Chain A
Amino acid sequence: MSTGATSPAAPSAWRDPVALLAAPAVLYLLVVYALPLLWLLAKSLAGPDGLTLRPYVDFMSDPFNWRVIGNTLGAASWVTLFCLVVGYPAGFALARAGTFMQIVMLVSIILPLSIGVVVKAFAWQIVLRRDGVVSQFLVGVGIWDEPQRLLFTETGLVLGAANIFLPFMILPIYSVVKLIDPRLGEAGATLGATPFYRFTRIFLPLTLPGVVSGVAFVFSMSVSMYVIPSLLIGDRFQTLATLTGRSFLMMRNEQLGSTTAVILLVLAVSIVVGSTWLARRLGGST
């Protein structure tokens, strides 16, 4: 990091008056957001006599809770994979499309944001029913022999969640693809590179920062999702977030709730830190 070496008159590190402009936002988040989170963490480690890991040891010794963690990570991985497989080419298409297609894609990304997660999940309930559109379509084209219910299944959950998080995969990828000079590919072709070689050696490395950022967004959001699993799969399938929500909002079991909340927090923070580190190594600034 440069510390004033760029201009000879630059003030020394800590006396830069411009830094004061950052103070209100940073102080706000420190007081309202960071301190309460640290307090939550500290409280969960405080036992009757000093520091304790007891709640976590208890939590981990119950095989049911391993299933909960498995559910959380499994669902998030499937959602992320789905979003990446669809979102990567879609990000390319959005950056390279003609004006009309670009507008159609942008509208389909931005407009559904206005109906919100609750109503979207509700719409997916209708779509995924036994007599819903997906079932009718799959029977119609002959993939399924008879109508099936996707609602309250893991496939339904992954579809619904991917639908809500897909824009957060497409937009970061779009923002790196649009900066790539298309002539790079042509240059590669002139020099005799095959399409596959051009993709893996030119486009893939240049788009990696966008991919890292998109994957980090989608994965962390799907690990934390609460409304979507409650509406699309129900109590049968517990994740860390739904268990935290139930403990605090329904069972009033704050002990269990704090434990799962902290595990979820640690998981999410490691995704943030890990992805930032990876993005910086790849030289991206998204």
Chain B
Amino acid sequence: MTATERIAQAGVWLAAGFTVVFLMTPLVVTVAVSFGSSGVFTLPPPDWSLRWYEKLGSARGLWSSLATSLQVAAVATAIALVLGTLCAIALVRGRFPGRDAIATFLVSPLMLPGLVIGIAVLQGFKAAGLREAFVSLMIAHVIITLPYVVRTVLGSLTLFDFSLIDAARTLGCSYPMALVRVLVPALGPAFLTSGMFAFLASMDNYPISIFFTDAWTKTLPIQMLQYVEETPDPTIAAISTGLVLLAILVLVIGDRLVGLRKLADF
């Protein structure tokens, strides 16, 4: 190995190590702060305590907004999985003009400013007379979840050999049965990956949701920001640590089902 190669290799591993530490920093800080006794986020904490977890019990606003966020994310992800998969099949199998443009259009919400989408959609809903906060949130969040599904399922379908479906039918499967037995398992990893990214993106969305919340219906990020502004203490770190545990559970299940590596095919 030449000197240049050795330097390049060292650079690659340095970047990898830095990436791991850098990306994990906010997570480690959040978890550490949530178990600390300090109310002003001293790190390392002077003493360990569970007081912020006890305080969670009385933080009513956080729990109801968590419930709202989970429901909105679940429904928006489910709708996106159905619409997105159908569309991806059409884009891969279809022979009609403008397929590339349609794919770009469907992924574009990921790259356009959420705030601007929120303003435009809010004005659209006002014009249509839609005022119900929860329904508005769900309809708006499909715009965020759809790009993830289209992008990942499209990528996975381009690699899928459609003659397998014909083979299954030759072997006696009905057409719907062939789809369920052959296509769905082949797309399983893509469903899981895109579903996970879409769900997290919906849970995390602030700039679009801010236009569709009212006094009773708030999503978690909005409630958390409000909470921090009113009572800046590590209670939100405690609820976030709970979400991290939930995510670890999802990752372990995902790893068992399809393997962690497949989850990176975003």
Contact = CB atoms under 8 A, between A and B. Distances in A.
Interface in A160-218: 163, 166-167, 170-172, 174-175, 194-196, 199, 216-217
Contacts of A37: 112, 116-117, 120
A28 to B, nearest CB: 6
B99 interface: yes
Summarize A's interface: helix, strand, loop or mixed: helix
A50 interface: no
Contact of B95 (A2, A114, A244, A276): A2
A221 interface: yes
B41 A18 contact: no
Q: Bin the interface of chain A by size.
A: 35 or more
A93 B104 CA distance: 29
B123 to A, nearest CB: 6
A28 B142 contact: yes
A264 B116 contact: yes
Summarize B's interface: helix, strand, loop or mixed: helix
Interface string B232-266: 00001100100110111001000000001101111
B108 A93 contact: no
Interface in A58-104: 86-90, 92-94, 96-97, 101-104
Given A39-B120, A112-B23, A249-B210, A21 B87 contact: yes
Interface stretch (B49-57, B168-176, B221-229): B221-229
B89 interface: yes
B4 A194 contact: yes
Interface in B51-99: 83-84, 86-87, 89-91, 93-97, 99
Contact of B117 (A2, A33, A172): A33
Contact of A25 (B23, B24, B83, B139): B83
Contacts of A107: 251, 260
Contacts of B83: 24-25, 28
Interface string B143-158: 1001000100001001
Interface residues of B, number: 93
Q: Which of B94, B197, B200, B243 has the most CB of A within 10 A?
A: B94
B96 A13 contact: yes
A138 interface: no
Contacts of A278: none
Contacts of B25: 123, 127, 133, 163
A128 B205 CA distance: 24
Given A32-B142, A122-B228, A217-B110, A86 B41 contact: no
A78 to B, nearest CB: 15
Nearest to B101: A276
Contacts of B23: 108-109, 112, 163, 166-167
A271 B116 CA distance: 15
Nearest to A249: B210
Contacts of A241: 113, 115, 207
Contact of B146 (A22, A25, A174, A258): A25
Nearest to B265: A175
A92 B15 CA distance: 10
Contacts of B161: none
B221 A116 contact: yes
A103 B260 contact: yes
B116 A18 contact: no
Contacts of A261: 113, 115-116, 119-120
Interface stretch (A139-147, A148-156, A223-231): A223-231
23 contacts: A10-B95, A11-B95, A21-B86, A21-B89, A32-B124, A32-B142, A33-B121, A89-B12, A92-B12, A116-B221, A117-B221, A118-B225, A123-B30, A127-B29, A133-B25, A174-B264, A175-B266, A195-B4, A216-B111, A227-B225, A244-B115, A257-B119, A261-B119
Interface of B: 2, 4-5, 8, 11-16, 18-20, 22-27, 29-30, 33, 41, 43, 83-84, 86-87, 89-91, 93-97, 99-100, 102, 104-106, 108-117, 119-121, 123-124, 139-140, 142-143, 146, 150, 155, 158, 196-197, 200, 203-204, 206-207, 210, 220-221, 224-225, 228, 236-237, 240, 243-244, 246-248, 251, 260-261, 263-266
